[in-house]
Homo-oligomer: A and B are copies of this chain.
Amino acid sequence: MVIVLNKSISTADKENIRSFLTRKGFTVREIVGEEETIFGAVGLVQIDRREVELLSGVDQVIPITKPYKLASREFKKEDSLVSVGPVKIGPLRLAVIAGPCAIESRDQIMESARIVRDSGGVMLRGGAFKPRTSPYAFQGLGEEGARYLKEAGEKYGLPVVTEIVATEHADMLADIVDVLQIGARNMQNFELLKRVGSMNKPIILKRGMAATIEEWLMAAEYLMAHGAENVILCERGIRTFETYTRNTLDLSAIPVIKKLSHLPVIVDPSHATGIREKVIPMGLAAVAAGADGLVVEVHPDPEKALSDGPQSLLPEQFEKMMRDIEAMAPVVGRELE
């Protein structure tokens, strides 16, 4: 922690700050400059920096320790590789996870799985419990849906992922699916993070719509502090003033994450843009920006989808996107998983 002192600080205030910090367990060094005087305070202690800000004579307090450890690049220098059955997500690879927004029926998810597998997707997604902004909208098939998902995945050799929205579904879902997803709206549902983190399952952690990269990594830290080892970050757009697109896909988060963390990062262009025609360009852009994979919505018949049909790719669009990604992969030093 660095404390910038007020230029006209009194000697008494200065000593008071120094002794406050020392009492808390910090080692304090003073640096006197022509323009400003600062205290550098180092130590293993954690403290709410606003406590120091409120001391008389303090101008500014600057934290220098990252609040996350296990998720940080310092903790683990090499890129993490997350394995889900035969599928690997991480360096040099490009993994495409696809499927419908919601599982609507046994037939629909079976047909979706076939489409995903035929075009080269390596994991099947589908929502069993849907967090909907309207209480009057379709809320998902629940456990029954999760079972259909798994059945479809097994038939076509694809591990499956579904979103978990409540701790009471944890054991049931963990028994059925291969990967659990934490949705954007639950990124700071800390009770859910604690529970899912302790379940020894791979996890896809979506970035909250208003979450800074640091908060996102802190949410990953929650999972890891409770035991999770296989966490995949997923960028899906942040909220900005621009309203033409549903959210603003923050692709520059990819190189930032690659610097700060060892965790793999994938991108969901479907939820970010909310409309089919923008999914492919943004999916390709994500790959070009260095993503380790994509999560994409595809539906056998989007016009009949019960949820998010307009952002689901048509099967032939998905097929086309996969071919483009395959062509682009070598340019960014990757190979389609």
Given contact pairs A165-B191, A254-B281, A275 touches B44 in the complex (Cβ within 8 A): no
A322 → chain B closest CB, angstroms: 12
Given contact pairs A244-B212, A252-B245, A308-B48, A34 touches B43 in the complex (Cβ within 8 A): yes
Interface residues as binary, A249-273 with B (CB distance below 8 Å gives 1, 0 otherwise): 1111111100100000000000011
Interface residues as binary, A205-248 with B (CB distance below 8 Å gives 1, 0 otherwise): 00011101111001001100110000000000011111111001
Interface residues as binary, A13-44 with B (CB distance below 8 Å gives 1, 0 otherwise): 00000000000000101011111101010111
Q: Check A244–B213 contact: CB distance below 8 A.
A: yes
Q: Check A310–B53 contact: CB distance below 8 A.
A: yes
Known: A238-B248, A251-B285. 12 other contacts (CB 8 A): A35-B42, A38-B42, A50-B275, A53-B275, A53-B310, A135-B225, A166-B191, A209-B210, A210-B239, A242-B250, A248-B248, A256-B278
- Which residue in B135, B255, B324, B330 is a CB contact (below 8 Å) of A221? B135
A60 → chain B closest CB, angstroms: 7
Is residue A2 within 8 Å, beta carbon to beta carbon, of the partner chain?
yes
Given contact pairs A284-B289, A310-B51, A133 touches B188 in the complex (Cβ within 8 A): yes
Given contact pairs A42-B35, A240-B248, A2 touches B62 in the complex (Cβ within 8 A): yes
Complexed CA–CA distance, A257 and B288 (Å): 20
Q: Which residue of B lies closest to A189 (CB)?
A: B189
Is residue A83 within 8 Å, beta carbon to beta carbon, of the partner chain?
no
Q: Which of A152-202 contact B (CB under 8 A)?
A: 165-168, 185-186, 188-194
Given contact pairs A31-B29, A44-B34, A46-B136, A284 touches B238 in the complex (Cβ within 8 A): no
Q: Which residue of B lies closest to A54 (CB)?
A: B310
Q: Check B33–A43 contact: CB distance below 8 A.
A: yes
- Chain B residues with CB under 8 Å of A133's CB are 67, 188, 215, 218
A24 → chain B closest CB, angstroms: 11
Is residue A332 within 8 Å, beta carbon to beta carbon, of the partner chain?
yes
Q: Check B40–A40 contact: CB distance below 8 A.
A: yes
A250 → chain B closest CB, angstroms: 5
A71 → chain B closest CB, angstroms: 11
Complexed CA–CA distance, A243 and B309 (Å): 26
Q: Which residue of B lies closest to A55 (CB)?
A: B303
Is residue A287 within 8 Å, beta carbon to beta carbon, of the partner chain?
yes
A104 → chain B closest CB, angstroms: 14
- Chain B residues with CB under 8 Å of A135's CB are 190, 193-194, 218, 221-222, 225-226
Is residue A125 within 8 Å, beta carbon to beta carbon, of the partner chain?
no
